Amino acid sequence: MKIRRFAAFGAAVAATALALSACQSPGSGSDDNGGDDEGLSQDTAVTFGWNQSFYEYNGDSSTGNATANAIVLYLMNSAFRYFDEDLNIAQDTSFGTYEKTSDDPLTVEYTVNDDVAWSDGTPVDAADMLLSWAATSGHFNTLADEEVETDEEGNVTNQGDNVYFSGTSVASSYIIPTPEISEDGKTITLVYDRPFADWEQGFGIGVPAHVVAMHALGIDDATEAKEALIDAINNDDTEALAAISQFWNEGFQFGDSLPDDESLYLSNGAYLLTDFVRDQYVTLERNPDYNGDRPANVERVTIRYNGDPMASLQALQNGEVDVIEPQATTDILQAAEALGEDFTVLTGDAATYEHIDLAQNNGGPFDPAAYGGDAAIARDVREAFLLLIPREDIVDTLIRPLNPEANVRQTNLAVPSAPNYDAIVAANGYEEAFPAVVDQSSIDRATQLLTDAGVTTPIDVRIMTDSLNTRRQNQLQIISDTVNASGLFSIVDASNADWGALLSDTSQYDAAIFGWQSTGTGATNSDANYRPGAINNFYGYDNPEVTALLDEIAVTTDQDTVTELQGEMEAFLVQDAFGLPIYQHPGVDVYRNSIEGINPIALSPTVFWNYWEWDVTGDTAGEPTSEEATEEATE
């Protein structure tokens, strides 16, 4: 067996949930004409094992913002830029170009190439870019974030005739006024109302504008639909935008199988989505009309879903899948290394870090509303709870057997190997406020806080995490044992297999344990987690001083100054007892040696980033058929 260890990347990647990137030149023998099969691995298929099912095509919405969706969308759709294996930004000029034309005001022009089209034949153009801006800018919403009510799936239930797009982007929010579109409809000009350090990473294309407008406005012709959408945005037509925003929020959510309406899963990239069974698999096939620089070298890609890492490893051994990236445990690594010479194991720090966040907007134990609006009492209860999280025990029990050098992570803003990590940690105060080892002094401090607050103990706390993930369940058990033993809190297991879709519905939990996967190298990536109403701020967190520092970070180009500001900002998170970082995920990728070109990076989409370099040199697993899925469902 070949085992290759790869070191953690040193880039200062920040925490967020979603990514769409990749890089380098096409694999040897590939050409720029998607209709020419020279260099293509004929009749080839690669099957991946993954832990969470694809469930939504709109990766920019609050419900669709997840890595499980991003990896599929990455294979389906091209973009202006991507990250190479060294995490450098590269432009995909076969898709389009962008250029900063002014620094004062910051002005950027994006142009989509004439030959780029959606898989229904409709050109990709400035209408798609305009919709992406409008939907993620927040400028058109007439329903305030604090007024939004959602169901268990995170869908807005009180939108009515209001405009409300559920996704937000700090980059889009800084683009004012409404972007202008060129006469040929291929170029859009973005003018920022302030400098923005991460402008090159902050804008792209999401869902097809013509599909949204056709469904929302009842228009049959794609060209007319795009024109109507552009008019609605340019004229701030609330009636039309209300319908457009509602479809944008909910129209691309998948049920249990592939929608009958093919417009809900169009592609403009290397692969077409051809089959889907929720929680079982997706199948993608090479797009014959793709003519960009990164054509699919493998004809068919299937992703099979199983949240049990050991079951995924067993599927690899049984020939049911070819590549897996399971959540690593000691048992997984030992079992992977015992597979034999036909498999390769890659290990190193992954792009994800584990953390626990507390809901402050659900009437529960960490919400001021539970104490008559007294924010100080709620803060003290949050601090008392976090003092009892045994982070050192978690790392020592679950992570160090995989990575002996692992330590408790002490910041949400940088990976442990990043050059700014130590400086942020020195400034934020996590180590002093929340010691990693829970001892009697921790319990005494927590007891005093709750006594002074006058709250009755024990306090029930519902913790939600992945019910199918072995390591997270072990982690929950370690936390429960320690917290329950204090007598101050009582842990209620609110684990759920659909935890990702439920994060936006804090009525389901009081604390959530999961991982943020880095999507880029920009300093503003964490903005989405802590700004009021931002896409990853599920918890109602709102500190004006944090928001002001986020604003300052966004316009600062000097890295040393950014680091200082990040330390200041995170100190407020510590003071507010927002939550705790726990550890950097250890990464394990395992694949059969008949697949070449597997080379994961420490950003989403991790192992999928260089799909055009994959090559099949021997036997691989076949993709599931609808008949197989029916059989599995009845067994």
User: 392-409, pLDDT tens digit by residue?
Assistant: 999 999 999 888 889 999
Look at 32-36, 182-186, 203-207, 231-235 and tell me which has the smallest mean pLDDT. Answer: 32-36
Mean pLDDT value of segment 602-609: 88
CB contact at 8 A, 242 and 163 = yes
Task: Assess if residue 503 is contained within a domain.
Answer: no
At 40, the pLDDT band (50, 70, 90 cuts) reads low
Task: Indicate if 103 and 238 belong to the same structural domain.
Answer: yes
Degrees (nearest 5) of the Cα angle 307, 385, 476? 20
* Token digits of residue 444: 């005494």
Question: In the predicted model, is pLDDT for residue 589 greater than 80?
Answer: yes
Task: Assess if residue 111 is contained within a domain.
Answer: yes
Gap between the terminal Cα atoms of the chain: 35
Alpha-carbon distance of 364 to 362, in angstroms, equals 5
- The pLDDT value recorded for residue 395 is 96
Left (φ > 0), alpha (ψ -120 to 50) or beta: where does 363 sit? left
Question: In the predicted model, is pLDDT for residue 77 greater than 90?
Answer: yes
Q: How many domains does the chain have?
A: 2
- CA-only gyration radius of the chain, Å: 24
Task: Indicate if 84 and 212 belong to the same structural domain.
Answer: yes
Question: In the predicted model, is pLDDT for residue 26 greater than 60?
Answer: no
Task: Indicate if 156 and 267 belong to the same structural domain.
Answer: no
Task: Indicate if 11 and 50 belong to the same structural domain.
Answer: yes
Task: Assess if residue 553 is contained within a domain.
Answer: no
Most confident of 78-87, 467-476, 567-576: 567-576
Full strand arrangement of the beta sheet holding 96-103: 96-103, 106-112, 187-191, 180-181
CATH, residue 239: 3.90.76.10
Task: Indicate if 90 and 215 belong to the same structural domain.
Answer: yes
Alpha-carbon distance of 220 to 627, in angstroms, equals 34
Task: Indicate if 233 and 310 belong to the same structural domain.
Answer: no
Higher pLDDT, 500 or 276: 276
Task: Indicate if 281 and 308 belong to the same structural domain.
Answer: yes
Task: Indicate if 100 and 230 belong to the same structural domain.
Answer: yes
Left (φ > 0), alpha (ψ -120 to 50) or beta: where does 454 sit? left
Degrees (nearest 5) of the Cα angle 23, 351, 436? 165
CATH, residue 320: 3.40.190.10
Of the chain, the percentage scoring pLDDT greater than 90 comes to 71
At 11, the pLDDT band (50, 70, 90 cuts) reads very low
- DSSP calls for 102-171: EETTEEEEEEE-TT-B-TTSPBP-HHHHHHHHHHHH-TT--S-GGG--B-TTS-BS--TTS---S---HH
Whole-prediction pTM: 0.77
* Token digits of residue 500: 């990702």
Q: Residue 606 sits in which domain range? A: 2-54+259-350+586-634
Higher pLDDT, 104 or 144: 104
- The pLDDT value recorded for residue 25 is 25
The one-character DSSP state at 274 is E
Q: Which residue has the tokens 């320690």?
A: 482
3-state DSSP helix/strand/coil % of the chain, to nearest 5: 35, 20, 45
Task: Assess if residue 578 is contained within a domain.
Answer: no
Task: Assess if residue 454 is contained within a domain.
Answer: no
Residues 6+ apart with CB under 8 A from 388: 438, 442, 443, 446, 482, 483, 486, 488, 489
- DSSP calls for 414-457: S-TTSTTHHHHHHHH-HHHHS-SS--HHHHHHHHHHHHHHT--S
Task: Assess if residue 277 is contained within a domain.
Answer: yes
Q: What is the mean pLDDT of the chain?
A: 89
Task: Indicate if 101 and 227 belong to the same structural domain.
Answer: yes
Task: Indicate if 244 and 318 belong to the same structural domain.
Answer: no
Question: In the predicted model, is pLDDT for residue 24 greater than 90?
Answer: no
Task: Indicate if 234 and 118 belong to the same structural domain.
Answer: yes
CB contact at 8 A, 263 and 214 = yes
Question: In the predicted model, is pLDDT for residue 14 greater than 70?
Answer: no
Phi, psi for residue 510 in degrees, rounded to 5: -110, -30
At 479, the pLDDT band (50, 70, 90 cuts) reads very high
Task: Indicate if 34 and 136 belong to the same structural domain.
Answer: no
Of the chain, the percentage scoring pLDDT greater than 70 comes to 91
